[in-house]
Structure 1
Amino acid sequence: MRLIKAVLLLSSAMTVMAGAVISPALPEISRHFSADNANVLTKLILTMPALTIALCAPLAGHLSDLFGRKKLLVYSLFLYGLSGFSGFFLDDLFLLLASRAVLGISVGGIMSAATALVGDLFSGNERAEFIGLQSGFMYIGGIVLVLLGGFLAEISWKAPFLAYLSAFAVFILAIIGLSKPNHGSNSSEMVDLEKSLRVPYLAVGLIYLLVFLLMIFYYMVLVQLPFILQDRFGVGSAVTGLAISVSAFAGSLSSLSYPLIKRRLSYKLIYVLGFIFVSAGYVLIGNSFGFVVILTGLALAGFGNGMLMPNGSFWLMEVAPEHIRGKAVGGFTGMIFLGQFLSPILMAPFVSLFSLNGAFLVSALFLATVAISIAMLPMSRIVSSRLSGSLDKNNVR
């Protein structure tokens, strides 16, 4: 079981590395391809995988239900290493974007399979603890990978692509240690009962919507913040990576604390508090009178994000029956990365109208509005008691 947990945690880190490791190198990549007049396109190098993930993750989730999580995870890890590392050799912007698109297909498979495996292998408090550990590990991995990407970017804009070679080590571990979950352990009566339960589409839809909004604004830090730091404070890639890692570190603290938080707060209240933290952090970033102020804002926003990500994942695991878990997780994964892909596109008009700092302030206002709206939702009506009779009613109010 320890090796299985290690594979799941390392696979989760691969999904973070897809964007985090090259984020500090974006300004250098932009300068390298400046002759192409492609400022927006170079930002899409970071988010291009998100488009193909969003398109392919629902299909990947369905395939994991049909053919098994292990096969999907193993094949996706191999494709991930191959497509990610290829960026080291490519010096054409459009070929680089194509390789990032293929990387996205692999990430969709990895995340759908790994998350569904968590739902299959764990339940109750153990599931909450592992989801919190998984989210915390992803944030800690983000710290290490952003710092690594920053230092590698000081050598060359191509050097961060070397980090994708680590996927082949996880690929080997997955082949050796990952056993197939025993779906046949439930009685046929239990399986028939589960299939007869009504899926709470309102709850699933709300989870999808909230994670979509979260990722649009979360990716502002990775896409927009490097330009604020380097244009306003003149810092290099290494310091940029260090600054971004502050947000990841704060997120890891709240994610690792998620099981404790969940025992005391409902899903609804965690969402409200999480979005308030992110909003407050963006207010400080938008009013960036000094480097320390930005770091404080990054810490607040990161802490809120660290509460929100496992909250959506755990809630989805609770309300989605096992026979459709792969599909549900695939849709969840798709919404995460659709938000990532659209982030620079949706934020571009606000950056043009209000500047980078102003875009963060407008985002803070919107996120505060989201928090207030969630607080007013009749959550007990959204979750179907016919499906989730095993849930604590206090957890869904």
Structure 2
Amino acid sequence: MTDTLAPTGRARGTVLAAAPLTIMAAAIIAPSLPAMREDFADTPGSGLLVRLALTVTSLAIAISAPLSGIVADRVGRRPLLLTGLGLYAVSGTAGFFVDDLYLLLITRAALGLAVGGIMTAVSTLITDWFTGERRASFLGLQQAFASLGGVVFLPLAGLLATVSWHAPFWIYSVSAIVAVFAIVSLREPERNSPAVGEGGRLPARVVGVYVLAFVVTLAFYMAPTQLPFLLEGFGSGPVVVGAVVAGSTLTGVVGALAFPRLRRRLGPTAITTVSVALMGAGWLMIGTAGTVAQVVTGLLAGGGHRDLPRPVPVPARRPTPRPRHRHRRGVHLDRHRFGCRSGTRRPSLEPEQRKGNTMIYHGNRFTLRPDASPEQVEEALESLRNQGRVIPAVKSFVVGRDFGGDYEWGAVFAIEDLDGYWEYLMHPAHRNTDRVGLPLVDRFASFDVTDDPDPEMGAKIAELHQRRYDNDAELTGLISGLGEYSGSAAPGKHGA
């Protein structure tokens, strides 16, 4: 497995150092909220507005993240990150000098804009740098650093809040130090020009993911917004509030570090379901708690969800479409199209450039039904081509006529490893080909060719296909209904 850009150790360290800035952005003032409510008691609606000082940051993140994706593509990742770090330091520390609640809300919103830029820049840098297993591992490490930052900075915020509710705002100045390292160590990655949007509606399942992410985010911010007042009712001061909120990040570290291994063993649906269930169980324990110890237990129980389903903004971009007349070397066509990770495509590699790197060439051969119309055939073939264009795991591909055999059409997709293979199988573009193409197919054969010396590679590939079938009854039904099918883990009558 090779990295896409081979970042330096200092560059990686800078990205990891930026991770805690995102998770602590809103929560750092949580220990100060009760004192802020008392200080602004004369301001109409202060009880709500003080809580809003924390949550408005998250609202601004939601607004700025999609726009930041466009900026990341058009201006660059490095400029976006540096701008975000600078705005973070200025808007964050501004709270120390502000005595007007409405002006404080404005600075907190500006902080959210900065966080949206930082999160997007960091996420795109990671997808530029790594693919497959390396990407999953680094993302897990990034989230672990974010949680560790909470363990350090949130108790510190609680300690500073005993001096003055203004004092914790100085913690935001850490961003200026990270900015210096970013200036020295980061370089702008090479990437393709941003593509023109293709339009179309989001699939219902993708909309469902966004809704779930929204609900999870609401629950996530209940801790810093509501716990300070709950713990105040138990007689706890700012130091205890900071320590308790920080304690929830401890299990978040465990969840983040475990993510790469869980990803290899469980599908995204299973991981998300378990994570949300843990979160719900934790909040049920907190809601019925009668002591601080019971609150802490609930936070620890639910804290492991933090870095598993947590939404991460990704740039609003698509890989550059290739002209249809251009020759394509290799392809990736199959009957599994679902799951996704955004990332910059690398150019196709010539054989001599791939020396020392094993590849998996996944192929399909098929004959369509006689009653398939020319328009239906072209739609299915274009969907296959689109897989090769938009699925990041596909390094090269070809779709076209099949000569010298018993099939009419064929496709081959070149993938580097099993993580990329699974990404390919689960991508929405793949799923779309299942939807429009499989009902037209009469005979179908799936095969894989690889120079990987692992004697278990065939069994591992079959396991991925089986996992896909086990979690997609509709796909299994489409394959089972084909007149003839051969391939790894063939379902239904074809596997008998």
Contact 2:86 2:175 in 1 (8 A): yes
Return the match for 1:154 from 151, 162, 173.
Answer: 162
The question of whether the paired residues in 2 share the 8 Å contact of 1:20 and 1:146 is answered with yes
Question: Quick one: distance in 1 between partners of 2:295 and 2:187?
Answer: 45
Match of 1:144 in 2: 152
The corresponding residue for 2:12 is 5
How far apart are residue 205 of structure 1 and its match? Answer: 2.8
Shift of 1:264: 1.1
Name 1:210's counterpart in structure 2. 212
Matched, 1:72 2:80: yes
* Change beyond 3 A, Cα 1:306–1:76: closer
- Corresponding position of 1:297: 298
CA apart distance, 1:203: 4.9
> What amino acid sits opposite 2:267 in the alignment?
S
- What does 1:99-138 align with in structure 2 at a 5 Å threshold? 99-138=107-146
Structure 1 pair 199–169 and aligned structure 2 pair: CA distance change class (3 A): farther
Partner residue, 2:174: 166
Q: Shift of residue 312 of structure 1?
A: 9.5
More relative contact order, 1 or 2 (CA 8 Å, 6+ apart): 1
Superposed counterparts of 1:279-294, under 5 Å:
279-294=280-295
The alpha-carbon distance between structure 1 residues 201 and 321, as it changes in their structure 2 partners (threshold 3 A), is: farther
Tell me if the contact between 1:137 and 1:252 (Cα under 8 Å) persists in the aligned partners: yes
* Counterpart selection for 1:18 from 25, 37, 60: 25
Q: Does 1:35 align with 2:42?
A: yes
Letter in 2 for 1:97: L
Any idea what the Cα deviations from partners look like across 1:140-176, whole Å, max 9, x if unmatched?
1112121111001011000001111111111111110
Please list, as runs of the form range in 1=range in 2, the aligned pairs for 1:34-53 lying within 5 A after superposition: 34-37=41-44, 38-53=46-61
| AA in 2 matched with 1:56 | S
The equivalent residue for 1:318 is 340
Residues of 1 paired with 2:283 and 2:468: CA distance?
29
Q: Are residues 84 and 382 of structure 1, via their aligned partners in 2, closer, same or farther at CA, if it must alter by over 3 Å?
A: same
Which residue identity is paired with 1:183? R
SS of the residue aligned with 1:180? coil
Q: CA deviation at 1:321?
A: 5.3
Take 1:381 and 1:111, find their aligned partners in 2: how far apart are those partners? 25
Is residue 31–residue 158 contact of structure 2 (8 Å, CA) maintained in 1? Answer: yes
Whole-angstrom distance in 1 between the partners of 2:80 and 2:89: 15
Contact 2:340 2:427 in 1 (8 A): no
Task: Tell me the amino acid that sits aligned with residue 12 of structure 2.
Answer: K
Change (3 A) 1:261 1:72: same
- Rate the CA distance shift 1:25–1:388 in 2: closer, same or farther, 3 A: farther
TM (norm. structure 2) is 0.62
**1:3–1:177 Cα contact (<8 Å) kept:** yes
Q: 3-state DSSP class of the match of 1:12?
A: helix
Contact 1:53 1:108 in 2 (8 A): yes
CA distance in 1, matches of 2:245, 2:426: 39
| CA deviation string 1:32-90 (max 9, x = no partner) | 11111410001111112222222222111111111111111111111110111111111
Question: What secondary structure does 1:246 align onto?
Answer: helix
Q: For the residues of structure 1 that align with 2:88 and 2:253, how far apart are their CA atoms?
A: 24
**1:21 Cα deviation after fit:** 1.3
How far does the alpha carbon of each residue in 1:236-258 deviate from its partner, in whole angstroms, 9 at most, with x for none?
11011111112111111111111
Query: Counterpart amino acid of 2:275?
Result: G
Alpha-carbon contact 1:135-1:309 (below 8 Å) kept: no
Query: If each structure's helix is expressed as a fraction of its own residues, which one has the higher value?
Result: 1
Asked if the contact 2:123–2:312 (Cα under 8 Å) also holds between the matched residues in 1, the reply is no
- Residue correspondence of structure 1 range 84-99 to structure 2 within 5 A: 84-99=92-107
3-state DSSP class of the match of 1:307? coil
* Partner Cα separation in structure 1 for residue 148 and residue 50 of structure 2: 26
> Using the alignment, how far apart are the partners of 1:69 and 1:308 within structure 2?
24
| d(CA) in 2 for partners of 1:168, 1:234 | 36
Equivalents in 2 of 1:127, 1:57: separation in Å?
Answer: 21
Q: Could you list the per-position Cα deviations for residues 217-246 of structure 1 after superposition, in whole angstroms to 9, with x for gaps in the alignment?
A: 111111111111111x10111011111112
CA-to-aligned-CA distance 1:246-295 (integer Å, 9 cap, x gap): 21111111111111111111101001111111111111111102222211
Distance 2:427 2:132 in 1: 21
Cα distance in 2, alignment partners of residues 67 and 278 from structure 1: 38
After TM superposition, the score normalised by the length of structure 1 is 0.76
SS in 2 for 1:87: helix
**Structure 2 unmatched runs, 5+:** 1-7, 315-337, 346-424, 435-447, 449-460, 472-496
* 1:230-379 equivalence runs, <5 A: 230-231=232-233, 233-309=234-310, 318-320=340-342, 322=344
Name the one with the larger strand percent: 2
Cα deviation for residue 195 of structure 1 reads 9.4
**RMSD over aligned Cα, in angstroms?**
3.1
Gaps spanning 5+ residues in structure 1: where?
324-379
Amino acid at match of 1:10: A
